[in-house]
Structure 1
Amino acid sequence: MKIAIVHDNLVCKGGAEQVALSFHNAFPDAPVFTLAYDSKNTYPEFKDCNVKTSWFGRFIKSEKNLKRYYFPFGIMAMQQLDVSGYDIVLQSTTHCAKYIKTDPNALIITYCHNPFRLVWSTESYEKVVKAGAIKKILYKKVIDMLRNIDKTFANKTTWFITNSKEVVPRIQNAYHPKNEITVINPSVKCENFYVADAIGDYFLVVSRFESYKKIDLVVEAFNDMPEKKLVIVGKGSRENEVKLSAGPNITFLNGLNVQDLAKVYANCKAFIFPQLEDYGITPLEANASGRPVIAYGKGGILETMLPYKDDAMKATAIFFDEQTKDALKEAVGIFETLTFDPAFIRAHAESFDEGSFVNKIRSFVMNKYISGDVVKPNNVEEPKPVIVVA
């Protein structure tokens, strides 16, 4: 039995990349195929993997340039990435991992974090929504083309797995899989985090600087609360814009190693999570540090947190109902009146530890292989490469 792991790209640190690492831990001898690999900006553990990139990845390594040249060159390169010769292909994807070449009878298992956001949730892209009339026409043509490619290659998947119940209907609506979708919640590496004896005087955000992450909302809220300190860890396309709007009570950090990040988590008063996420591993990392979460109470967070109702000692988070600075400020105010139990919070996080996730993934893959589920559900032939022209 030969197995290959495929991930969209390895150019940053995020929850999807952590899932790909867990796949490697489940199948340590399997090579990891990807569009592009930047060893300096993704998790250092990938240096221990046999990473194979497309021709695109030989020229493009940074996240910024990957986004710039993804269409059409990244799409074309991924369709030319040859992963034939493997009995099982385990894909971790939101967009292009499923575009690779495989053997016709390979068992393809796709861990879909979310259907390709640009084509299936276009309204979440500010650049598209706010584009002028001519640009919107061009965007529509490109998006229609990408939707066709995405759906065509998704039909190769035999079994879909996803990270939360939140994503299941999105996969059903986008790809119409004939087999049941399985939910296996991603894990947190509890061993990387610890509960501190004493905490600091700051609130914490760990996130990429992208529009849907709503970091600007947190900055606006803390600009209105200058007496409260906020630390933001991360980088991304809106980094400069957000930094320029931040008051002196807000500190920005990036490039932290595992030990430094664990310290920042362990010493924060609470972790702030303002976005609507399919799942979200960072709140569990905060919980693994014994720290409570102040979160927008919708999406995947509902499957990982125990929200405060009447006993903070049996809770791991406080939810706010609207993505507004006033709602966040109110939640922060409520938090300041409560006492949480770090030991209870840590114990809750341990129920999501990586070992359980690795075992579930390994068992799922092996059970499907042993049962002989190698025929594609839609009985489609290998898609021919799609040449995309802007």
Structure 2
Amino acid sequence: MKVAIVHDELMRRGGAEQVVMTMLKAFPQADVFTLAYNPEGTYPEYKNYKVNTSWLQFLSKSVKWMQRLYFPFAIWAMKTLKVHGYDIVLISNTHSAKYVNIDDDAKVFIYTYTPFRLAWDPESYSQYNDSKGLSRLIFDYVINILKKIDKDAAQRGDYFMGMTQETGQRIKDAYGVQEIKLIPPDVKTRNFHLSDKPKEYYLLVSRLEYYKKADLAIEAFNELGLKLIVVGNGTKADELKQLAKSNIEFKKGLSSEELAELYANCKALIFPQHEDYGITPLEANASGRPVIAFGAGGVMETMVPYTGDASKSTAVFFQEQNEKSLIDAIELFETLKFDSKFIRQHAEKYDEKVFMSELKKFIIEKYEEK
């Protein structure tokens, strides 16, 4: 049984790139295919594999250039990337992985994090929201084309997998899929540890992009004056640094060990966005630390919300995505006492061993049915 794993692009460090690493542990002999690969931009573990790239590799030296060239060059490049001679093709996908050229007799499994955000949820991009007149008309024209291309490419899948009930419904709505196997992404609990004496700071770990809502956290902490450490980088980094007061510190390019230390010693992780899944709340939980999260999206399925007993909870939710609601949640959190061992045990339900077992079982069973 020969397996290929295809991912959108390997140019950054994110939750999807961590999931692909776990897929490779489940199928260690698999070959890897992707739009473009930057060994220094993504996780160093990928250097242990031969990564096959499209011709866009020669033009996309950064995420910014990859995004600029996406329409139409990335689509074209992936359609010409041949993934031939495989019994199983496992596609890890949000945008372009499902465009690759696959043998007709291969069994295709598509693990979709969420349907392509630009096509199906353009309002999550500040560039779209800020566009007007002719610019908006061009945006809408391109989006309509992307929707058609994206939906057509999805029909190549024989079996679909998703993360949560919410994202599963999005996949059904976008692609007309009838059945979806839900397998929540894993957290690598072995990489995180508990601390006996957490310190007096809160933590935010995120790409610094518009829809991640880091500005909401910064405004709240500007008001409260409490210490916040922000870990991440992105197109909004400079803007957010200008917004932040002196009680807010920015870090990027940390090692796994450095990040684990920050998780273990924070008071809580701040999670202000509506995320499809959200791996960072589970990483905080794996460190025994609770989460203060906007009560929507993936955290509704992965967290145990505080409803009166903090010792049996992993998170405090705030219900409105605004500064006051977040401040109220932080002030409530300050009065509560959580159980770090309970929180860690909860995270272990999402360990990579669980993900690997469910993924392998589903794929092998479906493959053998043929």
Report the secondary structure of 2:233's partner residue: coil
Find out whether 1:292 has 2:301 as its counterpart.
Answer: no
Partner of 2:216: 217
1:364 and 1:48 map into 2 onto residues whose CA distance is: 26
**Residue pairs, 1:322-341, within 5 angstroms:** 322-341=320-339
The answer to whether 1:199 aligns with 2:198 is yes
Choose 117-126 or 5-14, whichever is displaced more: 117-126
Determine which of 345, 350, 353 is the counterpart of 1:347: 345
Unaligned runs of 5+ in 2: none
Residue in structure 2 matched with residue 63 of structure 1 by the alignment: 63
Structure 1: runs of 5 or more not aligned: 373-390
Which letter maps to 1:192?
N
Q: Relative to structure 2, which stretch is displaced further, 119-128 or 187-196? A: 119-128
Q: Distance in 1 between matches of 2:265 and 2:177?
A: 45
Q: Does 1:153 align with 2:153?
A: yes
Instruction: Quote the Cα distance in structure 2 between the aligned partners of 1:146 and 1:181.
Output: 23
Q: Which residue of 2 aligns with 1:90?
A: 90
Distance 2:149 2:85 in 1: 23
AA partner of residue 252 (structure 2): N
Rounded Cα–Cα distance in structure 1 between residues aligned with 2:25 and 2:341? 28
**Aligned positions of 1:1-390 closer than 5 A:** 1-178=1-178, 180-226=179-225, 228-372=226-370
| Contact 2:93-2:111 within 8 A present in 1 as well | yes
In the TM superposition, residue 65 of structure 1 has moved relative to its aligned partner by 1.2
Q: 2:202 touches 2:268 (CA, 8 Å); kept in 1? A: yes
Further displaced range: 118-127 or 352-361: 118-127
SS at structure 2 position matched to 1:351: helix
Amino acid of the structure 2 residue aligned with 1:303: E
- Residues 106-153 of structure 1 deviation map (CA, whole Å, 9 limit, x = unaligned): 110000000001111122222112202110111112111111111111
Q: Contact 2:59 / 2:65 at 8 angstroms: preserved in 1? A: no
CA RMSD across the alignment: 0.8
Secondary structure of 1:5's partner?
A: strand
Q: Is the 8 A contact 1:161 1:182 kept in 2?
A: yes
The structure 1 segments of at least 4 consecutive aligned residues displaced by more than 2 Å after TM superposition are none
Structure with greater proportional helix content: 2
Task: Normalising by structure 1, report the TM-score.
Answer: 0.94
Q: Given residue 95 of structure 2, which amino acid in structure 1 is its aligned partner?
A: H
Q: Equivalents in 2 of 1:106, 1:88: separation in Å?
A: 6
Matching residue's letter, 1:291: R
Whole-Å separation in 2 of the counterparts to 1:272 and 1:61 = 32
- Quick one: which amino acid aligns to residue 49 of structure 1? Y
Q: Residue type matched to 1:288 in 2?
A: A
Shift of 1:61: 2.9
SS in 1 for 2:355: helix
Q: Percent identity?
A: 51
TM score, norm. by length of structure 2: 0.99
CA distance in 2, matches of 1:123, 1:234: 23
Q: 1:328 is matched by which residue type in structure 2?
A: L
Distance in 1, matches of 2:139 and 2:296, equals 29
Query: Which stretch shifts more, 122-131 or 77-86?
Result: 122-131
Aligned residues: 370
- Map of 1:384 onto structure 2: none
CA displacement 1:193-233 (0-9 Å, x = unmatched):
0001111110000000111100000001011012x100000
For 2:170 and 2:187, the matched residues in 1 are separated by: 24
Letter in 2 for 1:218: A
Match of 1:380 in 2: none
Give the Cα–Cα distance (whole angstroms) in 2 for the partners of residues 79 and 143 of structure 1: 19
CA distance in 2: counterparts of 1:354 and 1:327, whole angstroms:
34
Q: Secondary structure at the match of 2:270?
A: strand
1:68 offset after TM fit, Å? 1.4
Provide Cα deviations, 1:289-312, integer angstroms capped at 9, x if missing partner: 000000001111011110111110
Question: Higher relative CO (CA 8 A, sep ≥ 6), structure 1 or 2?
Answer: 1
**What's the CA shift for 1:330?**
0.4
